Structure 1
C-alpha cells in the first residue's frame, strides 16, 4: 500500500470522525456509513443498492418481485433509456444491470418511471413509452409502445420533462411544462412585460389527462385537466382521497430581471415551490401570479405589473396547500401505501427536493427528502425532514459541491422505500427496524433539528450571505446574469447547465461564443463529451462592453487561459446578426 494512499485514507477518516463529533455536539443525528451516509429518524436504516450507474438516474419504479427500473439521466443511443437492476443472491445489492428502451439519444429531461396495470411506463422529453411486463423477465421481451408523443413543432425547450401518474379509472396524467420563465416576448429579458393573455397556456403550462390504455396518442387526444402550472416534475395520485397532487417549480430570476423591485435575499427565498391538490379545471396562476410563502399570498408577477405586494387578478387563482422555499426543486412525490413503516407514515407524502442552483449569494438549498403526514386522507399543512445528508457539505456554495442530489422515490413490494439520486446514479433502500408502537415525538424532534442546516433553513439576510465582507472578484456581469446556471465556480450543475471550465464552447471560436450570448441557444449540445439540453436565454440587452467583459472573464477564469474578447468584436457580430441593431443603453441602477 502506497504512502500516498495511506495518507489519503487517514485524512478521509479524520474528516468523517470530525464531522460525526461536530454533529453529535450539536445534538443532531449522527451520520454513519451503515446508513449509506444519510441522516434518518431513529429506527430507520438505509442500505446502498448500487453506488453508481452508467447514465446516472432520474425516477425509479420497483416491480412486485423486487426488480428495479431506473430512468437514465443520459441515454447515449437507442435502447439505453431504462436501466434494469436485479439482486440475484439476496444480499440487498444489485448484481445484474441491463439497459433497454427508448427511440433515440436522450438527455436531461427524461423523467417518468411507473408500473401501472402490468406495464412499465417511462418518458423522454418528447415521448411516453410502455412495455408489457411478464413474470420472471428483467428486460421485457414485449415490443415497446409509444403511448403519447409531444408533436409540437417547436421541439425541445425548457421545462419539457414529462412526469406521469395514473388514477383508478384508467387515466394517465402528463404535465406539459411552459417553454418560458414568465411568458415574455423574449424569454428572461430584464424589465420586459409578459404577453397578456399568454398564448403558451393553450397547449403548455398545465396537466393533460389521457387514456392510459391507448397508444400513439398526441396532446390533441387528451384533455386539459389543469392550467397555470409553469413546471411540474413531481406528481402522484393519492388513492386515499382519490385525487391528483402536483408540485410546481416557481419562476426564477427576480433579481436578474427586476433588480429595482427585488433584493438578492428576496430572489433567493421567493417565490414558493407550490404543492397543489389538483382539481379538474384548476388554475395555478402562471404566468400572471406567484405564491409568496412569507406573506401567504398569491401576488402579481412583475411582468404583469406586480411590485411584491399587489394581489390583483391573483385572488382568483388556486392557492397551494403549502409553499416551500424557493428553488428547492421538488422533483418527485410518493404517497406511501405500505405497512412496514410506523402508522403515521401511512398515506403520507414523501417529496424529493433535488436542490437549488440559483440562490447565490446565499447557500444553495434543498437536497433532502421531506415528508408530509396525512389524517383521514388529507395532507397536513406542515412538513418534516425524513432523509438528509445527500449534499455531503455545509454550506452548498455551488451545485457541483453537492455529492448527491435526491431525485426519485419508489416503494418496494415489502413497503421499503427506494431513493435515487442524479449525480452518480446511487440508489438506497430504506427500511424500518425499530418498534412501530414506540415511534413518536423523540424521533421526530431529532430530525426537526436538521432544519437548522443551511440547505434547509431560511437564510439570514446578513449572516448567510456568502459574499459578505468579500470584494467582488471578477465580472459583476457574470455574477448577475450567469452564475445562477453556470455557478460561481464555472462548473455548471452537471444536469442542465454545462460547465464553462475547459469548455470547447468557451475556448473555441469567439464569434460563435458571442453569437450564443446575443441570440441564446436551445436544443441539445455536447460539452466535454456530455449532453445538455436546455435553453440559454439571449442577452442582447447587454451593452457591447458588458458582453466583452463577461466573455473575457469566462475565457480567463475557472482555469481557462484564452485571449480576451473586445468590444469591437462584439459589435461586429451584433451588426452581422442584425445590421439595423444598436447596442442598448445601460439599465437603471
Structure 2
C-alpha cells in the first residue's frame, strides 16, 4: 500500500463544526432518543430522529463501538467535492469533523479486519486509522487501490468485508443496458464488452488484500448493486437497481412497473444476465434477436418494487435492542419514484419469501415535510440503526421510543 504523508492543513482537513438544530430539514415532531423526532410512520415502539443536518450529500455511514459515527459525503456529482467526516457527541449535542476533503464522489464505508476504516471513492479505495486524532506527516492515510474505473453511468462504489477479510467491491455498469449508438442490433452490443474479462463492470469483485490485491470477478451481470451485506451463513447478499426506459422499444411494457429492482443471495461465479435479461430470464426488448441470451443466467431471489432504488441493505442482529427488527434484512429504498422513500424489512432466515413490511413510511413530501431519500444504513453495536438521507443532507437514527 502506498503511504501518503500530508499535513492536516493541506489535504486532511481536520475542521470541526457544531451541528445546528436550526438547520434541521425536517419539522420537529417531538423528541426521539433525545433528538428532534421526524414526523413519519415507524414500526411499533420505535421513532426516527435527526442526529446531524447541514451535511453535503451524505452517502455511507459507519457507527463504531466508541460512539463515533463516520460518514462519506459526496458533496456533488462533480469530482473532488466529497469528504470523509466523523460525528461525535459532546455536551452541546453533536459535532462534525472533516477528516479528508477533496474526495471524488465517495460512497462506501466499511470497517476492515485491521481496524481501519475503508473508504470507496469513484476511482480508488482508501483506508484511515480511526484512532488517529491529528493527521500529520507520520499519520496520514493509505491508498489501497487506485485504478478503479470512475467514469460511466454508475461510478459510485459500495464495499464490504467478509468474515475472512476479503473485500467486495460493487462495480456498477457503465451504461443503462449496454447501449452503443454506433452498434448494430438496436443500438446495443452483443456480447456486452463491459461484462467480459478479468475487470468486468456490472459485476461484483472480490479482492484478496492479503495476497497482492488479487481481484476475482465474484459475479457478473449485476447492473448496479449499491446494497451489500452478508447472510447469517456468510453468503453475500446484494440489492440491484434495475434498468430504465424499458418501454422505449416496446410500448406494451410499462416503465412504471418494470423492470423490478432485485435482491440476490449471490452464487459465486454466477452471471445474473444484465444487460440481456430483466426480472430473471425475460429478454430485454433490445436483445430479442438473441433469443438464447438469458439461458443459463442466474435469477434474483427476490423482486423488489420497480425503480424503488434499494441503495442500502443490512441484516439486523437476532439480539438487537429493537425487538421488531431482529433477524431481518433492512432495505433502504431511496427512490426516484414513489415506490421508494421508505425503509422496509424482510425476514432473513429460511427461504426468502420477498414479503416486506414497512419500518419507516409516510416519508413522501407533504406540507413542510420534505421527501425522504435513505441511502446507506448500519446498526451501532448497541443496536441503533443509523442511516443517511442525501436529499435532505441529514444523518438519521432509528431507535426504540422510550
Q: Quick check: 1:299–1:312 contact (8 Å CA) kept in 2?
A: no
- Supply the distance in 1 between the matched residues of 2:60 and 2:293 (Cα, whole angstroms): 36
Structure number with the higher helix fraction is: 1
2:268 aligned partner? 280
2:330 corresponding residue in structure 1? 350
Count of equivalent residues: 364
**Structure 1 residues 138 and 350, CA, compared in 2 at 3 Å: closer, same or farther?**
farther
Alignment partner, residue 227 of structure 1: 220
1:242 aligns with one of 234, 252, 258 = 234
The corresponding residue for 2:15 is none
1:314, distance to aligned residue in structure 2 (A): 2.3
The offset of 1:375, in angstroms, is: 2.7
380, 389, 411: which is aligned to 2:362?
A: 389
**Residues 202-245 of structure 1 deviation map (CA, whole Å, 9 limit, x = unaligned):** 22111110024578x5xxx301100011111111122x111001
Q: 1:298 to 1:417 in 2, by over 3 A?
A: same
Task: Map residues 157-236 of structure 1 onto 2, 5 A cutoff.
Answer: 157-186=152-181, 192-202=186-196, 203-212=200-209, 217=213, 221-236=214-229
SS where residue 286 of structure 2 aligns? helix
CA offset at residue 344 of structure 1? Answer: 5.3
Q: Which runs of 5+ in 2 are unaligned?
A: 1-26, 32-36
Aligned residue in 2 for 1:583: none
Output one character per residue of 1:405-425: Cα deviation in whole Å (capped at 9) or x when no partner.
111211112111112100232
Measured in 2, the distance between the counterparts of 1:37 and 1:333 equals: 23
* TM-score when normalising by structure 2: 0.82
Cα deviation, 1:507-555, whole Å, max 9, x if unaligned, reads xxxxxxxxxxxxxxxxxxxxxxxxxxxxxxxxxxxxxxxxxxxxxxxxx
1:113 is matched with which residue: 106, 109, 116?
109
Please list every run of 5 or more consecutive structure 1 residues that lacks an aligned counterpart in the other structure. Answer: 1-15, 17-30, 292-296, 358-363, 395-400, 435-589
In the TM superposition, 1:441-460 aligns within 5 A as: none
**1:402-417 paired onto structure 2 within 5 Å:** 402-417=370-385
Q: Evaluate the alpha carbon distance shift between residue 45 and residue 343 of structure 1 in structure 2; reply closer, same or farther with a 3 A threshold.
A: closer
Measure how far apart 1:190 and its partner are. Answer: 12
Residue number in structure 1 paired with 2:301:
321
Displacement of 1:85 after TM fit? Answer: 0.6
Distance 1:349 1:431, change over 3 A: same
Indicate the SS of the match to 1:192.
helix
Alignment partners' CA distance in 2, 1:231 and 1:269:
18
Mapped partners of 1:138, 1:273: distance in 2: 43
For 1:143 and 1:224, the matched residues in 2 are separated by 31
Q: How do 1:18-417 residues align onto structure 2 when only pairs under 5 Å count?
A: 32-34=29-31, 35-53=37-55, 55-74=56-75, 81-89=83-91, 93-94=93-94, 96-101=95-100, 104-107=102-105, 110-117=106-113, 118-134=115-131, 137=133, 142-152=139-149, 155-186=150-181, 192-202=186-196, 203-212=200-209, 217=213, 221-238=214-231, 240-255=232-247, 257-258=248-249, 260-263=250-253, 266-291=254-279, 298-305=281-288, 312-337=292-317, 339-343=319-323, 345-356=325-336, 364-375=338-349, 379-393=352-366, 402-417=370-385
**Shift in Å, 1:253:** 0.7
Q: How far is 1:138 from its partner?
A: 8.7
Tell me, in whole angstroms, the C-alpha distance in 1 between the residues paired with 2:74 and 2:59: 6
Q: Distance in 1 between matches of 2:353 and 2:63?
A: 27
Residues 335 and 212 of structure 1: CA distance in aligned 2, closer, same or farther (over 3 Å): farther
More strand by share: 2
Query: Could you give the per-residue CA deviations for residues 341-384 of structure 1, whole angstroms, max 9, x where no partner exists?
Result: 35553332111111125xxxxxx3301111111235x5443111
Tell me, yes or no, if the aligned pair for 2:54 and 2:394 is still in contact at 8 Å.
yes
Per the TM alignment, residue 334 of structure 1 is displaced from its structure 2 partner at its CA by 0.8
Distance 2:375 2:88 in 1: 20
What SS is found at the alignment partner of 1:200? helix
What residue is the counterpart of 1:486 in the other structure? none
Q: 1:173 to 1:41 in 2, by over 3 A?
A: same
The residue matched to 2:227 in structure 1 has which SS?
Answer: strand
CA distance in 1, matches of 2:79, 2:292: 49
Looking at structure 1, the residues matched to 327 and 294 of structure 2 have their Cα atoms a distance apart, in angstroms, of: 31
Give the superposition deviation at 1:139. 7.3
1:403 to partner: Cα distance? 3.2
Equivalent-residue separation in structure 2 for 1:375 and 1:230 (angstroms): 26
Decide whether the 8 Å contact of 1:233 with 1:332 is kept in 2.
yes
User: In 2, distance between residues paired with 1:181 and 1:205?
Assistant: 10
Q: Is the 8 A contact 1:101 1:144 kept in 2?
A: no
Kept in 2, the 8 Å contact 1:57–1:425? The answer is: yes
Deviation, structure 1 residue 47: 2.5
What is the rounded CA distance, in whole Å, between the counterparts of 2:134 and 2:326 in structure 1?
30
- What is the root-mean-square deviation of aligned Cα atoms in Å? 3.0
Asked whether the equivalents of residues 210 and 222 of structure 1 are also in contact (C-alpha less than 8 Å), the reply is yes
- TM-score, normalised to structure 1, is 0.57
Q: 1:302 to 1:82 in 2, by over 3 A?
A: same
Aligned partners of 2:181 and 2:187 also within 8 Å: no
